[in-house]
Amino acid sequence: MNDLKIPDKLVNLKGVYHVKISARYLAPLVIVLVFVPLPVLAFIYAPTLVHRIVAFVFSLIFVPPIIWVSLKAVSGLRDELSIYSNGFVYKSRKGVQTCLWSQVKNRTDILDSGNRPKVTSVEKRNREKILFAYEMRGLDVIANELDRYEFSKIPDSEKISTAETDALEPKNLGELKAAYNVKNTISEIVPLGMLLLLAGFGAIIPLANNNLWLIPGCFLPLAIPLCLYLWEIIRTRKDELKIYENGFTYLSRKGMADCFWHEIEDYSTVRRKSDIASIKKASGPWIKIAKNMQGTVDLEPHLRTVIKYSGPEA
């Protein structure tokens, strides 16, 4: 590998990282081992010439891209990333590439699982591009160090202190704007009716056979979903959401929870829907929002996900 001499300018080694061998990393190899032999076997054991032609065409279209993607994914297995206080060194098949934070012109970021920001590639001011390997560790460290470097370039006179930030934050929720409750609709009655019908069917079988020993196997498996569905409706029927000028309160069976708009740290939605399922309060618990709670549209303008650096990825 090339010795670019720039590493002499790098100080305070923070860590050396390699590719993380995980299920995601090995998935392309599994795809190759499973799918690539299929068209080959289809070609070998094809009963007619037409079937062999079809298998051959299929192989030409699909096998090369699968192999290329798989090799691309595992090509960085021996890559090494060394991160310093003022830059990094990246060793790959292309050689040794070195970059100081001051040399970065552009960066490509992604938000990985756990809301962890990572830098996947860097473009230097001399137009040299550094592309990191798939599943390379330490990319979250680079993102954090670059953010710190860019923040350090801001003049102190333009930075806001913690005391000034606290002074700008409201001290009370302010004026009450609206109050909402859960409103169950026909969409809840239909599933309830279907579950009730199934539970009834499960109860009829033991009675019709005059055998109560059939209840655990016939009635209980069908009654449990009904009970869980009913409990969810009953549990949240008295929940109340109040919207204030500077935040909201949520009353549930667990008690009253309050949250300022600036305290919202994260949120989640119902699977495959945009309905709000819960809101995370900074330094506090998740506040679960009941299904069919009215007024959640008033929460949407204030929802956000605060990205926090919690140290290098394990």
Q: Is residue 156 part of a domain?
A: no
Domain match, 14 and 146 both: yes
Q: Is residue 160 part of a domain?
A: no
Residue at a domain's end among 235, 255, 270: 235
Euclidean distance between CA atoms 213 and 199, whole angstroms: 16
Which parts of the chain sit beneath pLDDT 50?
Answer: 1-4, 6
Q: What is the 3-state secondary structure (H, E, C) of the chain?
A: CCCCCHHHHCCCEEEEECECCCHHHHHHHHHHHHHCHHHHHHHHCCCCHHHHHHHHHHHHHHHHHHHHHHHHHHCCCCCEEEEECCEEEEEECCEEEEEEHHHEEEEEEEEECCCEEEEEEEEECCCCEEECCCCECCHHHHHHHHHHHHHHCCCHHHCCCHHHHHHHCCCCCCCEEEEEEECCCHHHHHHHHHHHHHHHHHHHHHHHCCCHHHHHHHCHHHHHHHHHHHHHHHHCCCCEEEEECCEEEEEECCEEEEEEHHHEEEEEECCCCCCEEEEEECCCCEEECCCCECCHHHCHHHCCCCCCCCCCCC
Residue 135: CB atoms within 10 A of its CB come to 18
Domain match, 13 and 143 both: yes
Domain match, 197 and 259 both: no
Q: Is residue 164 part of a domain?
A: no
Domain match, 145 and 200 both: no
Domain match, 231 and 134 both: no
pLDDT tens digits, 46-104: 788 887 787 778 777 777 777 777 777 677 788 999 999 999 999 998 899 999 999 99
Answer for the pair 177, 244: CB distance below 8 angstroms, yes or no: yes
Euclidean distance between CA atoms 271 and 19, whole angstroms: 32
Domain match, 38 and 142 both: yes
Domain that holds residue 293: 176-182+237-302
Domain match, 38 and 97 both: yes
Q: Residue 8's pLDDT is what?
A: 65
Residue at a domain's end among 220, 235, 250: 235
Euclidean distance between CA atoms 143 and 300, whole angstroms: 28
Number of domains the chain is built from: 3
Q: Residue 4's pLDDT is what?
A: 45
pLDDT tens digits, 271-300: 767 789 999 998 888 999 998 899 999 999
Euclidean distance between CA atoms 87 and 83, whole angstroms: 6
Q: Residue 312's pLDDT is what?
A: 83
Domain match, 231 and 243 both: no
Q: Is residue 308 part of a domain?
A: no
